[in-house]
Amino acid sequence: MIQMQGVYKTYRNGVTALNGLDIRIDQGEFVYIVGPSGAGKSTFTKLIYREEKPTTGTVIINDMNTSTLKQRRIPMLRRQIGVVYQDFRLLPTLTVYENVAFALEVIEEKPDNIRRRVMDVLDQVRLKNKARFLPDELSGGEQQRVSIARAIVNQPKVLIADEPTGNLDPDTSWEIMHILEEINEAGTTVLMATHSQEIVNTIRKRVIAIEDGMVVRDQSQGEYGYQM
Ligand SMILES: Nc1ncnc2c1ncn2[C@@H]1O[C@H](COP(=O)(O)OP(=O)(O)OP(=O)(O)O)[C@@H](O)[C@H]1O
């Protein structure tokens, strides 16, 4: 469960990105985070994997308070959270297989388990046949699928996708959405920040709209609600 209570975030330069957020997201939900540019969506996601801490208020992720969490326990929190970015962020000199395996090698998983898990997730994102390719030999949609595989390879409870379809054409975007839906159906909470009216209005899920750092709308089976 993700719970934010009275969360304010002011960056060092004095910009207040979040202005009193109260949000509760249960395990297994699929939530779109929408809102104008600069509204605070990325800041909200950064609080979840503790790239940032709130200035005041509490952020609780699966019983862990991110403000009081000891430094040495941060990796434990991050292991429960996978992150996918708009620009993929793959390592260009590593193959597809190696990019995904890397996430398990850093946590010193056993080699047999690494091989099995990596091939399982590559199968899940339908890229088993491209395991030996380098990122620049793949299309944008394929690169995003590798980044999803990397994000879920250690079976996180939460997957955060920050504009995962922002750089992709419509057909490829739908493919990515179907993969995210499958991951969600298997029990993972999915939080997706997006500017895509078409996706939000077609694949209906809970919508949390953030404006000026505040929740202005929270609807189940919601709609995008902004003019494009
Ligand atoms: N590291 C930072 N230091 C200072 N200010 C920041 C930082 N990150 C974000 N901000 C500011 O905080 C506000 C919210 O930014 P945020 O990136 O959370 O918005 P967003 O809703 O994700 O926007 P977009 O849709 O354009 O990605 C903006 O005014 C932004 O300039």
Where do we find the tokens 């390879």?
153
Q: Is 35's C-beta closer than 6 angstroms to any atom of ligand 1?
A: yes
What's the confidence (pLDDT) of residue 107?
Answer: 81
User: Distance from the CA of 208 to the center of ligand 1, in angstroms?
Assistant: 17
Q: Is 122's C-beta closer than 6 angstroms to any atom of ligand 1?
A: no
Report domain extents, the chain: 1-80+156-223, 89-155
The best mutation among 9, 19, 42, 85 to test binding of ligand 1, ranked by most ligand atoms within 8 Å of the C-beta, falls on 42
* CATH of the domain spanning 1-80+156-223: 3.40.50.300
Q: How far apart are CA 202 and CA 215, in angstroms?
A: 22
Q: What is the three-class DSSP state of 185?
A: helix
Q: What is the mean pLDDT of residues 49-75?
A: 95
Q: What is the mean pLDDT of residues 38-64?
A: 95
What's the confidence (pLDDT) of residue 226?
Answer: 86
Q: What is the three-class DSSP state of 54?
A: coil
Q: Is 42's C-beta closer than 6 angstroms to any atom of ligand 1?
A: yes
ipTM, interface predicted TM-score of the complex:
0.96
Residue 95 and residue 132 in contact, taking contact as beta carbons nearer than 8 Å? yes
pLDDT exceeds 90 at position 206: yes
Percent of the chain with pLDDT over 70: 100
Convert the pLDDT of each residue in 191-203 to its tens digit.
Answer: 999 999 999 999 9
> Mean pLDDT in the chain?
95
Which ligand 1 atom is at minimum distance from the Cα of 43?
18
What's the confidence (pLDDT) of residue 49?
Answer: 92
pLDDT exceeds 70 at position 228: no
Per-residue pLDDT band at 57 (split at 50, 70, 90) = very high
Percent of the chain with pLDDT over 90: 94
Convert the pLDDT of each residue in 140-175 to its tens digit.
Answer: 999 999 999 999 999 999 999 999 999 999 999 999
Report the alpha-carbon angle 81-82-85, nearest 5: 135
Lowest mean pLDDT among 8-12, 52-56, 75-79, 121-125: 75-79
The DSSP symbol for 1 reads -
Count of CA atoms in the C-beta half-sphere (13 A) of 169: 4
The best mutation among 41, 160, 197 to test binding of ligand 1, ranked by most ligand atoms within 8 Å of the C-beta, falls on 41
What's the confidence (pLDDT) of residue 24?
Answer: 97
Q: How far apart are CA 179 and CA 145, in angstroms?
A: 8
Convert the pLDDT of each residue in 81-115 to its tens digit.
Answer: 999 999 999 999 999 999 999 989 888 788 999 99
Q: Is 36's C-beta closer than 6 angstroms to any atom of ligand 1?
A: no
Report the alpha-carbon angle 163-8-88, nearest 5: 20
Cite the DSSP H helix spans in 65-160.
Answer: 74-79, 96-105, 111-124, 140-152
- What residues form DSSP beta bridges with 61? 2, 64
Number of H helices, E strands in the chain: 7, 10
Q: How far apart are CA 148 and CA 152, in angstroms?
A: 6
What's the confidence (pLDDT) of residue 38?
Answer: 94
